[in-house]
Amino acid sequence: MLADLIKRLLGRVPIARNCSDEAFATLNREAPIRPIEGEGPGATELKPAEGFVCRETVLGRDQRVAAYYFLLQQGTRNRLVDRSRRIHHVYTEVLVRNLIKMDVARLLGHRLAFFDIPDSFLGHEAMRLLPPQTAVPVLTCLPGAGGPNQAKLLEQIAELRKAGFRFAANANVLGTPQAFLLAAVDFVIVPADSTDPKQLRDFTAMLAAAGAKRQWMAKQLPSYDEFQLCQSLGAQLFQGPFITRREDWSNNSLGPNSARIADLLSRLRRDAEMAEIAGVLKQDPALSLRLMRYINSAAIGLREEITSIERALMQLGREKLYRWLCLLLYGADAGNPAASALLESALVRARMMELLGEARPVSERDALFLVGLLSLVDAVLKVPMEVALAQLATSSEIQAAVARGEGPMGQMLQLVIACESADPTALEVAASRCEIRAETASSAHMEALAWALEVTRE
């Protein structure tokens, strides 16, 4: 996996587009945000960008990415409150058909794809086009007429379960007429940000007493402390801001492996002689071995084997060596179990910035990619961003963009982050600053996600 990732990262071959522009351009033709007869003029007030999908990362107990929660952007979800069942179906179809376009089974591999659907959508033809081994519908019982009764809903769940589907439901159905869902699903989703520790303990005790094998996901975890609490209570899946949250790392220093890589990066930026770089590398046998394995791998495709550090460095060149070392930072020290999840998020940012800047010269695209890649380096190294960037000897423009969001590259990074937040207002504002259409940014975001999943697929 690493060799394939670095091959794309260093630009040895063109990076394939996994989700074509045409697929995203035709999304609204195939699953249109269309007027619904009888819904009135407010039925089509949604902006086109809000029809695109965003995602939330879900970690397993080992803090590696175990799933993604796919959903429509926040503005769309807010406007769906108290709307008719037919309007819910229109936008659920947009979501589901986008997942089908992405070919989530191939992209996610063993990971799961959670997504919300109304109870009456189980019979929709689009459900049969989803990969059952990957797709996990999160069921919501909508009020009003038109939905299946309890017996019919359980029958539909049982039928789809035979095809391999698993299901989820939100824990807030406890104490409601829809509580029967909890006995029919495989995953229960608990909003950990609004549930106190006693309620969480009571809930886990209830699951244990039921003797069921249902797993539960702690959602919207604000900090690492809440993650540890839910982990101790038996949660198997975890989602929330805690994954990329910055803590007080002012007293931390780089780990030994990260420090050696940072030293090499600093020497590269100071234009140290390659003989000096080679001498430092030779002091780290493990890093030297990784370099030699990479340079002689099938990913590079050289005709003859390279047997010396010096020749390997000449083959790579300074800029590609810098990128390779930046990538290695995300797995240099074993002290951060969330490093792989952070790497995945950083690659999405890097690729999205590269896509949005594809009309620019190669040097500018390289810089944009590097800004995205380094935007989470403080979270993986657990040191303040200013400290990390200073030790990596980044250029002043990259440092201003990553640390302070300044300059054109900083504005582009803010646009990428706005796509992650699923806040349509923030997305529109950030896109306007960059003179990019919000729809273009949304498409690039999902295309970048597809690429990152492809190159990191295990």
DSSP 120-177: GGTTSGGGGGS-TTTEEEEEE--SSTTS--HHHHHHHHHHHHHTT---EEEGGGTTSG
| Domain spans of the chain, in order of start | 31-243, 256-456
Q: Checking phi first, is residue 224 left (phi over 0); if not, alpha (psi -120 to 50) or beta?
A: alpha
Q: Is 46 helix (H, G, I), strand (E, B) or coil?
A: coil
Longest dimension (CA), the chain: 76
* Burial class of residue 270 in the structure, from the number of CB atoms within 10 Å of its CB (0-12 exposed, 13-18 middle, 19+ buried): exposed
Residues near 220 by Cβ (< 8 Å), separated by ≥ 6? 191, 192, 193, 194, 239, 240, 241
CATH of the structural domain 256-456, one choice from 1.20.1250.20, 3.10.129.10, 1.10.3090.10, 1.10.3210.10: 1.10.3210.10
Are β-strands 168-170 and 65-72 bridged in parallel, bridged antiparallel, or unpaired? Answer: unpaired
CA distances from 324 to 10, 66, 184, 272, 358 (A): 7, 26, 47, 17, 21
Q: Is 438 helix (H, G, I), strand (E, B) or coil?
A: helix
d(CA 323, CA 184): 48
d(CA 407, CA 397): 7
Specify the amino acid at residue 163: A
Specify the amino acid at residue 104: V
Residue 308 structure tokens: 């010396």
* Burial class of residue 437 in the structure, from the number of CB atoms within 10 Å of its CB (0-12 exposed, 13-18 middle, 19+ buried): middle
Q: What is the pLDDT along the chain (458 residues), one digit of tens a residue?
A: 444 555 555 543 344 444 333 433 433 343 333 333 333 434 333 343 444 677 889 999 998 899 999 987 655 555 555 567 777 888 888 889 888 888 888 888 889 999 999 998 998 899 999 999 999 999 988 877 778 899 999 999 999 999 999 999 998 887 788 888 888 899 999 988 777 788 888 888 877 776 567 889 999 998 888 999 999 988 999 999 888 888 778 888 888 888 888 899 889 888 899 999 999 988 888 888 888 887 777 556 667 788 889 988 888 888 888 888 888 888 776 667 788 888 889 999 999 999 999 889 988 988 999 999 999 999 888 889 988 888 888 888 999 999 999 999 999 999 999 888 767 788 889 999 999 988 888 888 888 888 888 777 65
CATH of the structural domain 31-243, one choice from 3.30.420.130, 3.40.50.720, 3.40.190.290, 3.20.20.450: 3.20.20.450
